[in-house]
Amino acid sequence: MTRKAFLLGFYSIGGQVLLLRELTASYRGDELFIGFALFGWLLAVALGAILGGNQRVKITSGPLFVIGIILLPASIIALRFSPFVYSGIIWETVPLSTAALIAIVLMFPVGLISGWLFPVINREGYRPSESIIRAYLFEGIGAFVGGVAIVALVGWVFSTLTMAMAIGILVPGFYFVAPSRKNAAVLSVVLIILLAGIMLFAGGLDRILDTRKYSPYDVLRSFDTHYGRQAILSRDDDLILVSDNGIEAVYPGVQSAEEALIPPLLNRPEAKHLLLIGRAEFGIMQVADSLRDIVLTAVDPRVQLTQRLDSILPPNPATVQIDSDPISFLTDIKHISKYDVVIIHPGEPDNYKVSRLITPGFLSQVKVLLGPNGLLYLPTAYDTDRHISSEKARIITIIHNTLQRAFRHVTIWPGESTLFFASDSSLALPNDSVAQNGQDRHYAPVYVNEYYLPDRFTDLKLERLAEALSRDTVTINELNRPVLPHFQALYQAKARGADTMIIPFLLDNPFWLVILPALMLVFFIATLIKAKRRRFYGLFLYFTAGIVSLTLELLSFYVFQAQAGSLYAELGILIGAFMFGLAVGTFYSHHTPVEGIAIPALLMLLTASTLFLTTFDHISAQALVFYHALFLFSTAVATGTLFVAATRRYYFGKSSANRGLGYAVELVGSSVGALFAMTVFLPILGLGWLLGAIVIFLVITLVGVLISS
């Protein structure tokens, strides 16, 4: 049973992580869909646990594993082509409601098999509590090994699809071959040969699929990085950089390159040293090379992308490319450079990876790198040349308000692409012509020319923009309350049915938040008024373990990414710490004959949550990995202990009980945390209030333990 439970953990975490990576890579890197995907995954696992726990359903774990390893790569391929379900147009943005439904549906098959396997495997044990805890322990160990392996290999050795194929070789290999020294040696050789074959030959499958997906473009490169999925396409004389199924840049791209570089030079004609947060290869570094006395430094973390672009577009010696995350770059204590202009050009703020760059905290770090009279420049794709919709006005005002928190002066240029300028020195609309500026730098602008400024600064356009900015002077985007991705989702909906009703309802009507706590309170009271309340309160402990642990895990991932900037690089350490803590908590509490272990488990969760609430914003950059790893480890130890406590309560003396029910209730709690924590409660309540609500919930649960005992 232990070997099968280990393989279940390895398969389950592999399926979950790979599907989540493919989901974000198919929908523009938007983390908002992760909550919906986890919701679908956990409900599927819960349903599978209930079905597997029903002893009238006769099926062994072997056929389930075979079905599972077929479904995993099939689901990844389905996710990759799923945007075409909404529209046959390659680059069209899929509305949030449609993408959320697709995510839930396509996470369901693999999740159902994962949940079904758990009770089927632990049914081999004699006593319910013993077999369930033992399976839970080894599932956690297998998940730890699988999570670390995936983070270490995907993006460097395998893609998401080829890693799924590798899992399809490893799991049945170790399942069907009986463990012995002779078999182990032969099996190892066979598996190494098969994995090498995947590395050498199956990698071309990604390019074949992208060739079909991006027809009629030619696919020059197709690969994964730690930050998402990349493709480099060509058509006629253009090169197109595709990041997470969205166009990031086009070469030669003269117009976008001029808009990225020349407008800040109109405000600061004396500027020489420019820092670009984004990619410079697609036209920007070529324009910078044509401008006299310009030294450009570009910062982007995708080193694999840099390596492949260097073989297609020869690097410019005058441009310094730094392969580092922007936040890690800014917090590096070895920095002594000062820049005249910092250009933030990362794309639309439809995910936390981009929106974290538009927060008062990050902007304050940018100020440290700016020299005297330094300027921050933020070009956006929002069209304010004509009518400004309420959704667009909301985003523009949030960006404007956020910039004002960090800088004394903020100016906006209206137009087909709205441009933001911020500085502690005065800002004014430039009086000099663009043509004269180009002559001074020996560059004649093609698009940002003498007709550029007069068309932007008509009285009507300036008045329309000022009226839009006056609608909200308070709301900002910050680490504690990231709102930009949610309003960006509403803006991208563009009057598409359900999105225009659901998103404003969720964000603008916080009164509905009382529904979930009310339902949880009803569940809490219902378990306490039962005749056998000690036993039935075990179900509420299962629910508590699920909702609290997953919510804290997701919040830790969010905070780490926002502060350290490189979540994917360290994700293996964080996942490993959590899964190892889960196994340690389960093992220790299982061998501790203490009746009231629920109390120390809840006290540990309460302590960890309180310390995280009071300290997460005061940790140095050098200690972030250790801090979050320790927090997740302690949270997982308490969760594993609470799972054992719930199992001892609910299954004591009930050998015929459904062995998947308790596991299913825990997964329902986890699914609630996945659906609401990041997508709803974080932007509405803010990080501090959400953590405070978790502390209150744990105190109430602790009171229930004392009453039910």
Pair 384, 520 in one domain: no
- Does 473 map to a domain? yes
| pLDDT tens digits, 492-533 | 766 455 666 666 666 666 676 788 888 888 888 888 877 677
- Does 581 map to a domain? yes
| Residue that the structure tokens 């272990």 belong to | 597
CA dihedral 361, 366, 371, 375 (to 10 degrees): -100
Pair 368, 313 in one domain: yes
Strand-strand pairing, 273-277 and 295-300: parallel
Interaxial angle between packed helices 128-153 and 160-176, expressed in degrees from 0 to 180 and rounded to the nearest 10: 140
Answer positive or negative: Cα dihedral of 433, 436, 442, 444: positive
Question: How many residues are given for the chain?
Answer: 709
Using DSSP, state whether 377 is helix, strand or coil: strand
The dihedrals phi and psi of 313, each to the nearest 5 degrees, come to -115, 110
In angstroms, the CA 289 to CA 308 distance is: 21
Pair 514, 481 in one domain: no
Using DSSP, state whether 182 is helix, strand or coil: helix
In angstroms, the CA 217 to CA 481 distance is: 40
Peptide bond connecting 301 to the previous residue in cis, omega within 30 degrees of 0: no
Interaxial angle between packed helices 533-564 and 567-590, expressed in degrees from 0 to 180 and rounded to the nearest 10: 160
In angstroms, the CA 603 to CA 610 distance is: 10
- By the 8 A CB rule, do 278 and 300 touch? yes
Q: Which residues of 406-429 are buried (b: 16+ CB within 10 A; e: fewer)?
A: bbeebbbbbbebbbbbbbbeebee
Pair 487, 514 in one domain: no
Pair 112, 145 in one domain: yes
Pair 380, 407 in one domain: yes
Pair 222, 309 in one domain: no
Q: Radius of gyration (Cα) for the chain, nearest Å? A: 27
Q: Which pair of structure tokens corresponds to residue 338?
A: 């000062």
Pair 280, 378 in one domain: yes
**CATH code where residue 51 lies:** 1.20.1250
End residue of a domain, out of 460, 493, 526: 493
- By the 8 A CB rule, do 586 and 644 touch? yes
Strand-strand pairing, 273-277 and 246-251: unpaired
Pair 516, 485 in one domain: no
Report how many domains make up the chain: 3
Q: Specify the pLDDT at position 55.
A: 65
Domain that holds residue 137: 1-226
In angstroms, the CA 540 to CA 520 distance is: 9
Alpha-helix residue ranges (DSSP H) falling in 407-474? 434-440, 452-456, 459-469
Query: Chain-centre distance of CA 343, in angstroms?
Result: 24
Residues of the chain with pLDDT under 50: 126, 435, 495, 655-656
Pair 197, 265 in one domain: no
End residue of a domain, out of 462, 493, 524: 493
Q: Specify the pLDDT at position 182.
A: 62
- Does 236 map to a domain? no
Q: Which pair of structure tokens corresponds to residue 671?
A: 């699914």
Pair 525, 480 in one domain: no
Q: How many CA atoms lie within 13 A of 633 on its CB side?
A: 12
Q: Specify the pLDDT at position 508.
A: 65
- Does 233 map to a domain? no
In angstroms, the CA 182 to CA 161 distance is: 31
In angstroms, the CA 582 to CA 489 distance is: 35
Q: What is the DSSP letter of 227?
A: T
Sequence-distant (≥ 6) Cβ neighbours of residue 508 within 8 angstroms: none
Pair 520, 489 in one domain: no
Type of residue numbered 438: G
End residue of a domain, out of 493, 522, 538: 493
Answer positive or negative: Cα dihedral of 383, 385, 389, 390: positive
Q: Specify the pLDDT at position 67.
A: 94
Type of residue numbered 263: P
